[in-house]
Amino acid sequence: MNLWHPVDRALWQGRDDSAEAPNALRLFQTIHNRGEFTPQRHNGNIALLGFECDEGVKRNQGRPGAAQGPDTLRKALANMASHAGHDRLVEMGNIRAEPDQLEAAQQALHDAALACQQAQMRTLVLGGGHETAFGHGSAILDAFPDERVGIINLDAHLDLRHAPRASSGTPFRQLALHCDAQQRGFHYSCIGASMAANTAALWDEAARRHVTVIEDLDVLNALEARVLPEIARSIDSYDRIYLTIDLDVLPAAEMPAVSAPAALGVPLALLLRIVEPLCRSGKLQAVDLVEFNPAFDRDGQGAKVAARLAWQITHWWQW
C-alpha cells in the first residue's frame, strides 16, 4: 500500500483491570492489531485509519501540526473502557504524506479506504487536516457508484474554496467536481458554519452548489426546529452517509487544539445529539475526525474531547 506505515504498538496501552473481571477491558485490549494492512471481508468491523498529513493546512495558510493528530488520538482512545461496539475496531495503520505531496497522499488514502469499504468494513479515519475529506469522501463515492451518498460536514467552514491547488479549504469543491465527473448528484450539508469565518464568495459557491447550510447560531438556538429535522431528512433521502467532523466546529474552550479555534462553536453535548441519529440510522458508512493539532493542546484537553467523540461514534455505530 503506497505511503502506508504501521502504527507503533506501544501507542495501544493502558491500565489493565482484567484480573477484576473478564469484561473489565479497555480499548487497547480489544482492538484488533495485526500490524499490517490486510482488509478482511467482514460486514461489521470498523477499519481505523490515520492520515498523517497537514500539507493541505500549510497550503491554506493554517497552523501546521495536524499530521501528529492520529497517533495522539490513539493514545487518548487506548485507555478508554471497551463497551459494545468497540471490539469491532481494527487497526489499519497510517497513510503518511510526504512534504508538498498532498495529491499523492490523498490518492493513497482513497485507495486504502476504498479497499476497506470493498471488504465490507466501515472506515473511521483520524486526520490530518480537512484535506482528509477528499481522499476519504471520494473513496466512499467510488465504492458505491450507483447509490445516493449524503455528505454531512460538521464544521465552522464550508471548505468550498476555488484555488489553483488542493488544500484543507478545497475538499468539498473537489468532491463536487468528482460527482460532476461521475454524473451523479452532489449531496452536501454543512452544519455549524460560521458566517464570520466564511467570505461572501464561499456562501455564493454554497448556494450555486445547492449546499444545505445551517449556521452555528441556528444549531445553538434551533436544534430541534432546524438541525434534527435536517438530519432526519438526510437519513431518509440517502442510501449511504459519509460524516466528516472538523473539530474546529467545537468552541475554542473545549477544543483549543485546531488550526482555527472557533470563537463561538457548537458544544460537544449538542454535537453528540446531531451525531447519534446518524450513527443509529444503519446508513452511516464512513466517519472522519480532522484538524486535531496536538501542538496547540492544553493538558491533553482537546485529545480527550476528540477521543470521546470517536469513542461515542464507535459505540453507537449500527448497520
* Four-residue CA torsion sign, 306, 309, 311, 313: negative
b/e 157-174 (16+ beta carbons within 10 angstroms → b): bbbbbeeeebbbbbbbbb
Is 299 labeled as ligand-binding? Answer: no
CA torsion, points 12, 15, 16, 22, in degrees to nearest 10? -90
d(CA 195, CA 13): 42
| Rounded (10°) angle between helices 102-118 and 132-143 | 40
| Residue 172 near residue 213 (C-beta atoms within 8 A) | no
Beta-bridged to residue 242, according to DSSP, are 151, 286
| Residue 180, annotated as binding a ligand | no
Q: Is 130 annotated as a binding residue?
A: yes
In this structure, what DSSP letter does residue 49 have? Answer: E
| Distance of alpha carbon 305 from alpha carbon 247, whole angstroms | 9
- Residue 246 assigned ligand-binding role: yes
Neighbouring C-alpha atoms within 13 Å toward the C-beta of 6:
10
- The reply to whether 159 sits in an annotated binding site is yes
Q: Annotated binding residue at 248?
A: yes
Residue (of 229, 129, 241) closest to 187 by Cα position: 241
Q: What would the grid cell of residue 258 be? A: 485546531
**Under 8 Å between Cβ of 192 and 284:** no
Annotated binding site: 130, 155, 157, 159, 246, 248
Annotated binding site for Mn(2+): 130, 155, 157, 159, 246, 248
